[in-house]
Amino acid sequence: MTTQVQALYDFSGEPNTTEMSITCGEVLTLINTEIGEGWWEGRKANGETGLFPAAYVRKLAPEESLPTKVAPAAPPRYDQANDDWGDQQFSAGDSNFQRGTSHEEGWDDDWDDDTYSEIGPVPQQSKAQYDQKLTPLPGMPISDYNHQNEDTASNYGSSVGTVRKSKFAPSSKVSGESYLLATLNVEVADSEKVYIVQEEDRYEWWPITQPYNVTVASPKKESKFKGIKSFIAYQLTPSFNNIQVSRRYKHFDWLHERLQEKFTLIPIPPLPDKQISGRYDEQLIERRRVQLQEFVDWMCRHPVLSKCEVWQHFLTCTDEKRWKAGKRQAERDALLGLNYCISIVVPEKALLQSQVDHVTEQCHMFINSMDTSVKAVSSMCVAHTKKLQTAYRADCQKVGEAFCSLAASLSLDEGSLASTSKLTTAVKMTGSAYIDIGRMYGDQPTYDWEPLGDKFHLYKGVVGGFPDVLATHKSAVQKKRECERLTAENKMEIAQLNEVLRRTDVISYALLAEINHFKAERTKDLNATMQKFLRQQVSFYKRVVEKLETTLKYYDE
């Protein structure tokens, strides 16, 4: 059934985009009303197709009257970035993927909207229209996904769905069961394999052979659709190729979800909180950049995470088509949760359960304590930053103002004595110095307390991820014990039990390797962090000393 629409106003489409210009009175055939964000797709009489604002046309019916003369504002431009990255096609094509409500909100309600909704001109449309969501188009065929055969893919489909939900329900037992009970049997390419090796008395992830880093550059405010919608894009440059990619927070958020689904034995570093503290937009954005840099650094230094496919894709993809393909592939990844363990190659040596128990108990106790103290440092940094920026700054300025007012009084009765006017100047300089020091107190957190807080934000996330990791491991061990019981009751074959035991060991090896990685990493990292912090503190107090010493010179000896 074909629907005709008539343009009510002129609309100039942006050249070289999917937009199309329409002229008031023109009649078009409606192709698609599910574009979202207030856009429809249509075809002109001359065959040209493209997008136009839905509010600019009306569906044709004989009783309709002529258009009014004043054109309403265009809807927010259909997000170019979404378009570039193929969200439309992805939504249309992924019938297996049911987006949760919270996911969908996270997607659209990203910071860019929060922070920059005022920057573009205020739309004349209602908020409801403005907030209109993308709706997935059902029934389009799955294409270019040939990582495994159709059977396996559909076999995993349900487990993938479960894992996605598990973002909000802790355990990934279900997804792990097929691995643990040896019903999952996939050939993993050698390039995908992850090795655990023994180093003295420790088990470790095979170390990174080609270390690299990625800089997250000062974000750019970008605007789309003639400034109606603007957002922040962070510029990422990996050292291994020096090619810059532009990523928005929602892309990080997407990546983060993929990583959390996939690595249930590796705590994923956190992204910045949405409610981050900051006094003004620029500062806020910079804080987010720093916290994203912390996230990226942690990823780069992790032997497993640093080389995983979705991360590499995120870091390097500049091409729209490749992005789409990679995105789909990541979202269909079957080796999620404990199933990922099928990629792990461990030493040919059975682990002693008592030893594993000892390490996990130790880790449990440590993580509990660390969780409290890391939170304490983190909130202390936030509180102290605020104090410095408000109370300390103001206190120091009051000191300065008192001296300045004294100088002003003294200046009223200087007379002819040189020493009198010299004193006035000196007291005035003292006042200014304290006002400056107040400013220094206020600005200082940017160099010490905030970066420290950002670092501990990271630790809060990583440490906070460990209880789930430990719980995942624990339930695997419980499953193993169940299998041992079943075998004792002759309800399970010895051969299958042996495979369960081997696979439980792989899970334990992975946990041990991750515990060791975290220990080594935090030791090196906190050592550097604390030194950097203290050096900034030293530098601050030295500058105060310098300021006061300069002031002293204004006085008569």
No. of helices (H) and no. of strands (E), the chain: 16, 11
State yes or no: residue 365 binds its own copies (CB under 8 A).
Answer: yes
State yes or no: residue 477 binds its own copies (CB under 8 A).
Answer: no
335 touches 156 (CB < 8 A) = no
State yes or no: residue 188 binds its own copies (CB under 8 A).
Answer: no
Nearer to its own copies, 365 or 488 (CB): 365
CA atoms within 13 A on the CB side of 163: 28
Nearer to its own copies, 217 or 548 (CB): 548
Stretch 418-437 residues interacting with its own copies (CB under 8 A): 419-420, 423, 426-427, 430
Strands 344-345 and 245-248: what pairing? Answer: unpaired
State yes or no: residue 339 binds its own copies (CB under 8 A).
Answer: no
Q: Of 398, 481, 485, 502, which lies in the binding site for its own copies, with binding defined by CB under 8 A?
A: 398
60 touches 5 (CB < 8 A) = yes
547 touches 437 (CB < 8 A) = yes
Query: Site map for its own copies, 515-554, x if CB under 8 A?
Result: ----xx--xx-xx--xx--xx-xx--xx-xx--xx-xx--
Closest CB 511 distance from its own copies, rounded Å: 14
State yes or no: residue 395 binds its own copies (CB under 8 A).
Answer: yes
State yes or no: residue 158 binds its own copies (CB under 8 A).
Answer: no
Look-up of token digits 């055969």 = 149
Stretch 95-154 residues interacting with its own copies (CB under 8 A): none
Report CA torsion sign: 513, 516, 518, 520: negative
Nearer to its own copies, 200 or 489 (CB): 200
Residue 378 has which token pair? 């983190």
Judged by CB under 8 A, the stretch of 179-187, 234-242, 243-251, 363-371 that binds its own copies is: 363-371
State yes or no: residue 321 binds its own copies (CB under 8 A).
Answer: no
State yes or no: residue 402 binds its own copies (CB under 8 A).
Answer: yes
Query: Site map for its own copies, 196-235, x if CB under 8 A?
Result: -----x----------------------------------
Phi, psi of 279 (to 5 degrees): -85, -25
Nearer to its own copies, 59 or 535 (CB): 535
| Size, binding site for its own copies by CB under 8 A | 62
State yes or no: residue 394 binds its own copies (CB under 8 A).
Answer: no
DSSP classification of residue 23: -
Closest CB 367 distance from its own copies, rounded Å: 9
Query: Does residue 394 sit in helix, strand or coil?
Result: helix
Between CA 338 and CA 358 the distance in angstroms is 22
Q: Which contiguous run of DSSP H or E holds residue 499?
A: helix 494-552
Nearer to its own copies, 46 or 419 (CB): 419
Three-class DSSP labels, 150-211? HHHHHHHHHHHHHHHHCCCCCCCHHHHHHHHCCCCCCCCCHHHCEEEEEECCEEEECCCCCC
Nearer to its own copies, 221 or 384 (CB): 384
Between CA 307 and CA 192 the distance in angstroms is 9
Between CA 214 and CA 169 the distance in angstroms is 32
Between CA 125 and CA 516 the distance in angstroms is 55
Q: Which residues bind its own copies (CB under 8 A)?
A: 201, 362-363, 365-366, 369-370, 372-374, 376-377, 380, 383-384, 387, 391-392, 395, 398-399, 401-403, 405-406, 408-410, 412-413, 415-417, 419-420, 423, 426-427, 430, 519-520, 523-524, 526-527, 530-531, 534-535, 537-538, 541-542, 544-545, 548-549, 551-552, 555-556
